Structure 1
């Protein structure tokens, strides 16, 4: 079977430019919000309906790192487990006082 050059292959999916621009703006906004929440206790809800409570221990332009200590995901001995969430999957971030 002859190999096809990557440049000659037609894409299976190409994101709409308007959607891509909106995603970049949203990711940038969320990155700023997450940066302001470092070392603060928050509740995060995702677009899939999952909810996590924890302390924000880091974030960048792609991910939010949440220290959950939640044994449901990491076993009974993980008191300081870090959960990494993708920014564009976040729906709500609420500060917990």
Structure 2
């Protein structure tokens, strides 16, 4: 039988929501003082990127990558000359390790 009422297919646990918000705020506070510095970022999927931290907001880290050393891991993307020195947007919640390089 079809009904016009919405059907919730997923709802996160309220404890998880609170913890996630705390981690997001902590991570943003940790990263903001390092805008303009070189970082190495490793994602949950095992991809590693190096570049200059351009900005961080509640959802993303913006990393300016260069033509060399910008990506390490299982899958190396194809870069064209037009893509050198591009701003890469990484999802804040997918970051596993962030290392300050300079």
What value does the CA root-mean-square deviation take over the aligned residues? 1.8
Partner-residue secondary structure (3-state), 2:81? coil
2:26 corresponds to 1:21: no
- Please give the TM-score of this superposition, normalised by the length of structure 2: 0.81
2:77 corresponds to 1:80: no
- Please give the TM-score of this superposition, normalised by the length of structure 1: 0.84
| Greater Cα shift, 42-51 or 71-80 | 71-80
User: How many residue pairs align between the two structures?
Assistant: 93
Structure 1: stretches of 5+ with no match in the other structure: none
| Greater Cα shift, 64-73 or 20-29 | 64-73
2:61 corresponds to 1:64: yes
Whose helix fraction is larger, Structure 1's or Structure 2's? 1
Moved over 3 A (4+): 70-74
Structure 2: stretches of 5+ with no match in the other structure: 69-76
